[in-house]
Amino acid sequence: KNQVEQSPQSLIILEGKNCTLQCNYTVSPFSNLRWYKQDTGRGPVSLTIMTFSENTKSNGRYTATLDADTKQSSLHITASQLSDSASYICVVYGGYQKVTFGTGTKLQVIP
């Protein structure tokens, strides 16, 4: 069964600190993996895409990694800001428009 597990489930960090969110997947076939940010009461918005051949990709203060061998991805947030408080969802695309959502990590950045 295709599954995407994320950890931690929730996280509280101080403003300015870094954090890393984890995603493990068992989706097959694999096409690509996206990290989405979901603000409270809003729809998820794509932050970054990782394809099979990519190991690391940065988008501003966000850096995503992918290890296709171990089927793991991480999202690293540098110098966190209060506006980073949101849920972060790992979504794996399996080709033929098949999409599997992760369980999500709820991040709270406090002053």
The tokens for 53 are 């051949």
Q: Are 33 and 90 in contact (CB under 8 A)?
A: yes
Binding residues for other proteins, rule CB under 8 A, total: 22
Q: Does 111 bind other proteins (CB under 8 A)?
A: no
Q: Is 43 in the site for other proteins (CB under 8 A)?
A: yes
Choose, by CB under 8 A, the member of 11, 13, 49, 68 that binds other proteins: 49
What is the distance of C-alpha 43 from the center of its chain? 15
Residue 34 touching other proteins (CB under 8 A): yes
Cβ 45 to other proteins, closest distance in Å?
7
Binding to other proteins, residues 51-80 (CB under 8 A): none
Q: d(Cα 52, Cα 55) in Å, to the nearest integer?
A: 8
Stretch that binds other proteins, among 17-25, 40-48, 54-62, 76-84 (CB under 8 A): 40-48
- Taking contact as CB under 8 A, which single stretch among the options 18-26, 56-64, 70-78, 85-93 is the one that binds other proteins? 85-93
Q: Shortest Cβ distance from residue 97 to other proteins (Å)?
A: 5
Compute the distance between CA of residue 111 and CA of residue 85 in angstroms, rounded to an integer. 11
CB contact at 8 A, 55 and 110:
no
What is the number of other CB atoms lying within 10 angstroms of the CB of residue 6? 22
